[in-house]
Every structure is written in C-alpha cells, then in structure tokens.
Amino acid sequence: MNFARVWILLLVGSTAFLGKEACGQWPTLTPFESEEPVPGTSLLKGEDDFSYESVLANDRFLDRQIELAKQARNRRWVGGEFDLDTRRSEFVEILGLHRDQRVENPAFEFYTRGDFESNPESKVRLRRVRWPVLEGVSGEGWLLEPEIEDPVSHPLVIAIPDADQHPEELLGWGEQGSNFDSYPLRMAESGCRVLIPALVSREEMEFRMTRREWLHRPAFVLGRTLSSYEVHMILAGADALIHSVAEAGEMPPLGVLGWGEGGRLALFAAAIDRRFEVAGVSGYFGPRENLWREPAEHNLFEFVRAFGDAELGALSEARSLVIETGRFPDAGFRLDGEGEIEVLEERPAKNGKPGRFAAFPLHEVKEEFSRLQALVSEPDSVRLFESNRAFSDPALEAFLQPLGKNLASADVPKSPPAEREWEAAAEERENRIAAAIERHTQGALVDAAHDRFAYFSNLKTGNLEQFRETIEPYRDRFREEVIGHFDTPLISPNPRSRPYQVSEKTQSYEVVLDVFDGVFAYGILTVPRNLDFSSSGKLPVVVCQHGLEGTPQDLVGEKKFKAYQAFATRLAEEGYVTFAPQNGYKYFDRFRLQQFKAQSIGRTLFSIAVPQHEQITRWLASLPFVDEERIAFYGLSYGGKSAMRIPPLVERYCLSICSGDFNEWVWKNAATDPRSLRYSYTNKGEYEIFEWNLGGTFNYAEMASLICPRPFMVERGHFDGVAPDETVAYEFAKVRNLYQARLGLEGQCEIEWVPGPHAIRGEGTFQFLDRHLRSTKAR
C-alpha cells in the first residue's frame, strides 16, 4: 500500500484519538488589514506563490551548481591535480565496490538445461556457467570456447549485454539477434574465449517501478549500488576466466566490451581493473551532467563532481579504448508522449523515478571524446566510431587488434533452439540473480548496526566535556559526507515582509529572506497580538516545520488542521513567536528530481534547507523582541525528518522536536521483506528519500547524538503508519541511553506516546517547550 494512502487513512480514521482539546476549532483568522511590515524589513510586494517560486529557485540554483562542479572537475583533471590510483580508489568508493569482499579464486561451475549448447556447425562450444561473486551471490551466463587446445592462444573477453538483452540474444537466438550480429560469437570464432554475463532487466514490477530500481534503492542506503553488484560480477567473471587458464602458465590478454548498460559497466570495469588491456564501449559514452535524468539505478552520489565519462576512460589506462556511438538503448520509465521524462507536480500513477537511458547527439559525444584525448598520455589509444548498430565491423576490428586476432565473418552459425525454449531458463536465471542481490542487501542491513558502531568508535561519553569534543568530527562528516555542504557564503537577508492574518490573540506576516544569489527563504512569522516590536522583552521562538507537500499556510489555520492542529498559531497564542518556513519538498517530481541533481554532485535537498534555516535563525535572532538563545525547532512528518537533519547543523536551534517521523530510519529505507513492506519506502513512491550510506554512518540515534546535549523530544502516535511502535522504541532507547545513562542529562530527552495518528498533538511537546524555553534558558 502506498505510504501516503496509509497516512490519509490513519489520519481520517483516528481523529477521535486526538482528544477534545486537540480536535477543537481552528483559530479564527482574518486578513490583516495593515500595510506596515515587520519593523526593520521592507514591504514585500507582488502576487507570487512564494512556496512555488522557492522550489523553482532551488532548481535553478542546482543547475548552476552542477555547471560549476563540472568546471571545477575539468580544472582539476586538466591541471594534473590527480593521481590515477587515488582517483581510481575514489571511483571504487562512489560505486560502493569496496564494501564487500569478492570470493577469491572463483572457478566456473558448468551446468546445463537441455541440449541448447550443441551446435555441430560451429567451431565454438557454448557452455552455461555460474561463478561465485560475493557470499551468497553468483554470476551466471554463457562461456563461448573455441575448439583449439592451447588456452594461451585464446584472448579472454567479457561481452556484456544491455540490461534488456538476455545473453542468448547475443548468440543470435532472439528477435534482436540479427540486429547485433551476434558479436560475441564472432569474437569466439575469431579465437577468443568469451564470457557473456546476465544482468538484471528493466522489467516493471508489481510495485510500479523497474526491477533495477527496486534493487538499487536499499543498496544505495547501505553504501552500495546495483552497479557495484554488477561490476563485482564482471570482475569476478574476469577472475574466473583467468583461473580457468592459470595452469597454462602464460596469461592471455583480457578485454571487456558492452552495449548500452553493458557499455556503461564495461567502462566502469576497465576504469577499476587495470588487467583489462582493451575495452569497448558502445551506446553509452557521453557527457553526464544530466545524470539526474537517467534511470534511478544510475544515481551515484558525487559522481558528476568527481568524474565524467572522459575521466573514467582516462582511468582505464587500457592499451586501447574503443568507443562507438550512434545507437543507444531506447529505454526509459515514466516517459511522456515526446519520449522525455515526466515531471508532474501531483502524485503520479507509478512509484518509480522517471528516467531515460541517455542518448547523445554526435557533437556531444565528440566533445566528451576530445576531453578524453586531452586526459590520456597517448591520444591514439582511444578511438571513436559512429554506427547505427551495436559494434560495427570497424569497431570490433579495432577491439580485436590489440588482442592479436582478426574478425571472423558475420556469417557465423547460430543454430538457435527450437520454439525459444531458452526463455524460461533465462527468466529463472534472472530471478535467481535478483533474489541473491536482494538477500545480500538484507544481510547488509543486519550488519549496518555494527558498521555504525564501528564508525562511531571514536566518540567518548565518559563526561559531557569529552562528548562535546569528540562529537564535532562526526558533525563535520555529517555536514560534508551525508547532507552535503555548498561552500557558498550567505548573502545579506534583505528581509521583506507584509501583514498576512490576524486573530483575537495573534498577528502574522509573510516573510522573504535572501539566502544565496537566486535562493531565498519564505515563511510566516506569527507573534502575539499587539506585540510591541521595540520592547526589550525577549520572547522564545519555535520554528514550526511542515511535512511532505506542505506549505507554511498549513500550520497556521484551517488548512490541514487535522494534521497540524494550527500549532504555529496555537503556540503564538501561548506567548511564543513562531516562524513556519517553506522547505523544498513540494510539487512531487519537481522537488524529487532536485534530490538527484543534488546527489550527483555530493549534495542533497538539505544542502539548501540548512543554509535557509541558518539565515532564518540569524534573522530571527536579530529581532529586538526575540531571545536568540531560545530558538527551537518542531516539525511533523517530513518536517520531523528535517528535525533530525537541520538542528544538528544549525547551531542556533536550542532544541528539536521530531513528530511523526522518528523510527529506525535505515530499516525503513532498506527493508524488503514482506512484513516490513507496509512501512518500508523500498516499494513506495517517495523515490527521492534514499540517502547515500546512512546504513554505515547515521541512523536516527546517531543524528540525535549531534543534537545532544540540547533537549530532544519525539512525539509518537501509536496509530501513525510511519513505523510500528517497536522500531520507534528500539531507536529511541539508544538516544535515551546516551542522554540519561551515559551523560546524566536528566529531563533533556523525552518521548510522548499518544493514542493518535500521524499528527501534531501539542500536549506533552508544548509542556516540553515551556519547561526548556520559559523557566530557564535551553543553553
């Protein structure tokens, strides 16, 4: 069931649990008939929808940052500020390849199903093979062996199909076989020993996403990628090929090539493993600055900042790199009538990310190729071919030349089995491969708690002073490696405001603050009625944060009252100043694709939200009626997600309240077992939610440690569909242990359990705010 639907059902069906006070009438608000802005601000003008415009501004900012990242990357590489081994290790980490140890000295296991391998007309023997890759994960495919006794005379080649091609189609057995001229068979007839591994297909699943995205989602949270699993399979296949001829003594040359997804993986494998003397990339090579438009499984955190396809080609150091362009896979998910990716501002019918396999015009490929030539010491070692099919004769001849072989005739015997009986076996094989990858990620999910324990091994909790000192390096890592930080100084806020609404006890203003050039913060400031703005009295502030698809207006009055209880206005009625900012997670695909833009350069949506909140709190602290030492954060749902990520990095927040979100977050993002799918995001439409390697770094308990020793509270409804009580309690117990058991911080860390839904209750949390913001200062 879609998470949003669970949320709505629980909310509508559970209002009785909120209690009479919480379910009372919303505050009566009317337009504020005044033309006076907040003192110290200029009058805000215009009829713009500032919530919408702020999301568009974020989008334009990210486009500029991608361009700047590209320029900085080019300067680093062209300027020679790199060591190839260091860069290679960096790419290995970006893929997540380093997290798992491949099986040593893998050997092929030969197995058969029927007599598909027999082909008396050919000099090539076809053998079904399986080889161990990781614990519990094997590669599968076909091994093509020339009938010549001396194994040293046979170069070793891995030919990788596209994700939507079965290996059998490269043997000429499928409908596409003739279009690809069975180039692995031709290389085998030319005297090469050829391995064709099977990949996971782009088939759409019952969860309304592709199978590849389904596997990539949990892997990404656990510091891996689907690409890392498939590259492991390719490199283990190379190990098995080498092992199969090891007794012959002399090592034959090794090459790798592929088309489409196979071309992508061939480029990756050659960049990582220097044993490949030649590599062939067809239907993939080009500029990657629009990586965010590609399928979800192509998302690699920080890739565009550090690499492009030209840089990966330079890493290969192969004696020969053959690139072919002209034909690309016609593959995509959620495409519009023009074949472009959908960008909807309302909930789409499918859960997967819109994405299209990139196809580049020739001039863009040539520009990237020119960059590659400038990066390699021998420009003649890289060659570019143009063709309307995958691996034309000139490209194959160029690939085979360094291997010492001539290209065999295209008229190779194919002898496909009758009635396409191989298809059932191919489907079973893909199911095995996908199931093994899924099992491995779930094992990694179990291990993730131990990984985080080791990651935090340098944190000392013997006393508060020791804790404060040793937590700071983790805050820096959280800022730089998890959230991502733009090294851009805040500009003058240039505050603008205008009267918005008034009630018997409150008055409110719309406020806009500049943050970066072209980026602004927008929100609603609510204060007690008839507040003397010049008064020396200092009031505490609560920044009230909306959830997914929300706006500041949702928090102040009738709109979405059942969820938010107008808590920004209610707190102002109690004598607080409140500010309800617009965070960027609104308008469905528009903001979700921004996450992929940001992640491509090692940033996230919160890389913009954090400086927005820094500017907000800086401005609030400057107001004469505000106590700068008492500015708190309180958010529901995605606002609760914000409560775990923004206060750790915004020093002015003196406490944080997480409502309707706190739970075992890594489990919620990575669990795929049927019992967990009710709660897990792995099968839901929030395709942007997955954050790189949280499994090995920061779950919610670790994020809370970055808030500590500031007060921290969780507001938890028993009937909230975000997570079951037990996972909330499990994660919170670790936070309570830090605050109370290890640091002796009594009363600083609380959880309120209420018989309610996914909503603000505003009882225990209001008391928590009163205790920490009214009686004494939070610091």
Each residue's pLDDT tens digit, 388-444: 989 999 999 999 999 999 988 877 766 667 667 788 899 999 999 999 999 999 999
What distances in angstroms separate CA 360 from CA 157, 259, 311, 386, one per listed residue?
27, 14, 18, 12
**Strand, helix or coil for residue 568:** helix
How far is residue 269's CA from residue 110's CA, in Å, rounded to a whole number? 24
Closest CA to 602 of 205, 93, 139, 98: 93
Closest CA to 239 of 328, 156, 327: 156
pLDDT band at 16 (very low <50, low <70, confident <90, very high): very low
Residue 119 has pLDDT above 90, yes or no: no
Chain-centroid distance, C-alpha 706: 22
pLDDT for residue 115: 44
Contact 284, 263 (CB under 8 A): yes
658: β partners: 635, 714
Residues 6+ apart with CB under 8 A from 211: 200, 201, 202, 203, 204, 205, 434
- Kindly report the pTM of this predicted structure: 0.94
- Percentages helix, strand, coil for the chain, rounded to the nearest 5? 40, 20, 40
**DSSP conformational letter for 389:** S
pLDDT for residue 6: 39
Average pLDDT over residues 85-108: 96
pLDDT band at 250 (very low <50, low <70, confident <90, very high): confident
For 570, the enclosing helix (H) or strand (E) is helix 567-573
Q: pLDDT tens digits, residue range 439-459?
A: 999 999 999 999 999 999 999
656: β partners: 633, 712
How far is residue 606's CA from residue 598's CA, in Å, rounded to a whole number? 9
pLDDT for residue 769: 98
Q: Is residue 104 classed exposed, middle or buried when 0-12, 13-18 and 19+ CB atoms within 10 A define those classes?
A: exposed
Residues 6+ apart with CB under 8 A from 202: 163, 164, 210, 211, 212, 295, 331, 333
Residue 361 has pLDDT above 80, yes or no: yes
pLDDT for residue 113: 54
Tell me which residue has tokens 């601000």. Answer: 41
How far is residue 564's CA from residue 761's CA, in Å, rounded to a whole number? 8
Tokens of 693: 């390697």
507: β partners: 502, 527
Identify the residue with better confidence: 198 or 172: 198
521: β partners: 513
How far is residue 156's CA from residue 150's CA, in Å, rounded to a whole number? 13
Average pLDDT over residues 164-171: 94
Q: pLDDT tens digits, residue range 682-693?
A: 999 999 999 999
Average pLDDT over residues 169-191: 80
How far is residue 471's CA from residue 709's CA, in Å, rounded to a whole number? 11
**What mean pLDDT is reported for the chain?**
92
714: β partners: 658, 751
State whether the Cα torsion 399-405-407-408 is positive or negative.
negative
Tell me which residue has tokens 């996230």. Answer: 604
% of the chain with per-residue pLDDT over 70: 92
pLDDT band at 117 (very low <50, low <70, confident <90, very high): low
How far is residue 590's CA from residue 15's CA, in Å, rounded to a whole number? 32
pLDDT for residue 419: 60
pLDDT band at 147 (very low <50, low <70, confident <90, very high): confident
Tell me which residue has tokens 């009031």. Answer: 539
**Strand, helix or coil for residue 249:** coil
pLDDT for residue 120: 59
Residue 720 has pLDDT above 50, yes or no: yes
How far is residue 332's CA from residue 356's CA, in Å, rounded to a whole number? 4
Rg (CA), the chain: 29
Q: pLDDT tens digits, residue range 535-573?
A: 768 999 999 999 999 999 999 998 899 999 999 999 999
pLDDT band at 173 (very low <50, low <70, confident <90, very high): confident
How far is residue 578's CA from residue 594's CA, in Å, rounded to a whole number? 28
**Strand, helix or coil for residue 636:** strand
pLDDT for residue 114: 46
Closest CA to 288 of 74, 605, 523: 74
pLDDT band at 181 (very low <50, low <70, confident <90, very high): low
pLDDT for residue 141: 97
